[in-house]
Amino acid sequence: MPIQVFLVDDSPVALIVLKRILSSSPEVEVVGTARTAKEALALIPTVKPDVICTDFHMPQMDGLEFTREIMANFPRPILVISTAVQPEDTYNVFQLLNAGAIDVFPKPKDGLLSGDSQLAQDLIRKIKVLSGVKVFTRRNRGKGHQTHTHSHFKFTSPFTSVSPVSSSSKAIRMVAIGASTGGPQALHTILTQLPPRLSVPVICIQHISEGFLQGLVNWLNVQCSLSVQIARNGEIPQNGTVYFAPERYHLEWDRQGRFLYSNAPPLAGHRPSITITFQSIARYYGDRSIGILLTGMGRDGADGMDAIAQSGGITIAQDEASSVVFGMPKEAIALGAAQQILPVDEIASMLVRQIERRQSNGWQANDRG
């Protein structure tokens, strides 16, 4: 049975373009369209789509309120399709993700009617991914209870044990976090819990549609007590700062500990690749590093996490229950690369404890010396 998609956009041209693109795939069926959020809310309970695509700017009710209503009353995977070219627009897009939407995608240009274009293929692929993700309901508008439901498929987690935790006593000097589908929300959960004077840099590698990275960084920079920015080639990472790998480049380190952009071919379709950054961290920081792998489809980061573990670093994988897609963490666990498996809302506290424990051990070793 085809994946059933519902489109919400106040532009009739945008609806035509999106419908033609999605209809070019026999695996996708557009089962309804609406030009206002209120119209969509009236139709969706009857149509029961597998995936909902929405823009932010709509009359009567904007995309944020629409997303909240859907997640509270009829939870479904939501893809935000937006031009989002202005800073305030990108900030709003990520507010939708924080409200329960799963991912973002650039709105196709009016003239893009072919299903053969790369952007069209990427959109269809994104719809296929979202049709199988876990969605979290938000019945309380505040910080209240959240439950989750699945779409077409489930992952099961047969893993009951984890790898031994690193016994190194050296102070942590670098934390790296990799994420894909569901990552912005997971990163928000972790980064907003970190203290403002964190004694290490944090590097994030997030798979995201091109053009949205700066918006993600801007959104997190407002939400977090830490400074959040895109890593710059040749820059030395500073403690208490969160850096994101840039679009279109792998992020590595040179021998002087400076960020190094690499235009090497994509690894398993990804550039930046989580694995390449993790492997570079393993080489440069070794047992002074922590690698964290969050929600996402595929296996990017699994081999990189293994490299960090093999070098004596600490590794943490997000658990299945809190993952939108238990793909990348599952692969790392299957590889034996994850020393700890935690719900996303417990990762920050564990991270801080590990950093403080290593610092304390380092001071004691220096005192004995």
| Bond into 272 cis (ω within 30) | yes
For residue 64, the SS3 value is: helix
pTM, 2 dp: 0.89
235: pLDDT strictly greater than 60: yes
156: pLDDT strictly greater than 70: no
Q: How many Å apart are CA 307 and CA 177, to the nearest integer?
A: 14
363: pLDDT strictly greater than 70: no
Under the banding of pLDDT at 50, 70 and 90, the label for residue 159 is: very low
- Give the pLDDT confidence score for residue 362 in this predicted structure: 55
Report residue 110 as tokens: 């009016």
Taking residues 292-321, what's their average pLDDT? 98
pLDDT in tens, 43-79: 999 999 999 999 998 989 999 999 999 999 999 999 9
Q: Within 13 A of 245's CA, how many CA atoms are on the CB side?
A: 33
Report residue 95 as tokens: 């507010």
- Give the pLDDT confidence score for residue 292 in this predicted structure: 99
Provide the pairing of β-strand 134-138 with 174-179.
Answer: unpaired
Element (H, E) at 41: helix 37-47
Taking residues 306-321, what's their average pLDDT? 98
- Give the pLDDT confidence score for residue 358 in this predicted structure: 84
Active-site option among 166, 180, 209, 311: 180
Taken in order 118, 123, 129, 132, is the CA torsion positive or negative?
A: negative
Lowest mean pLDDT among 132-136, 314-318, 332-336: 132-136
Please give the residue that has the higher pLDDT: either 164 or 172. Answer: 172
Element (H, E) at 305: helix 302-310
307: pLDDT strictly greater than 90: yes
Please give the residue that has the higher pLDDT: either 158 or 304. Answer: 304
Active-site option among 9, 287, 300, 319: 300
148 tagged catalytic: no
Under the banding of pLDDT at 50, 70 and 90, the label for residue 164 is: low
- Give the pLDDT confidence score for residue 336 in this predicted structure: 97
For residue 147, count CB atoms less than 10 angstroms from its CB and return exposed for 0-12, middle for 13-18, buried for 19 or more: exposed
Q: Percentage of the chain surpassing pLDDT 70?
A: 86
Instruction: Say what angle helices 37-47 and 63-73 make with each other, to 10 degrees.
Output: 30
274: pLDDT strictly greater than 90: yes
Q: Which residues of 223-239 are buried (b: 16+ CB within 10 A; e: fewer)?
A: bbebebbbbeeeeebee
169 tagged catalytic: no
**Domains of the chain listed by start with CATH number:** 3-150 (3.40.50.2300), 174-365 (3.40.50.180)
Under the banding of pLDDT at 50, 70 and 90, the label for residue 145 is: very low
207 tagged catalytic: yes
Other CB atoms within 10 A of residue 270 CB: 18
What value does the mean pLDDT of the chain take? 89
- Give the pLDDT confidence score for residue 189 in this predicted structure: 98
Under the banding of pLDDT at 50, 70 and 90, the label for residue 247 is: very high
- Give the pLDDT confidence score for residue 141 in this predicted structure: 41
Lowest mean pLDDT among 107-111, 289-293, 342-346: 107-111
Active-site option among 103, 166, 207, 289: 207
pLDDT in tens, 180-204: 999 999 999 999 999 999 999 999 9
Q: How many Å apart are CA 289 and CA 355, to the nearest integer?
A: 10
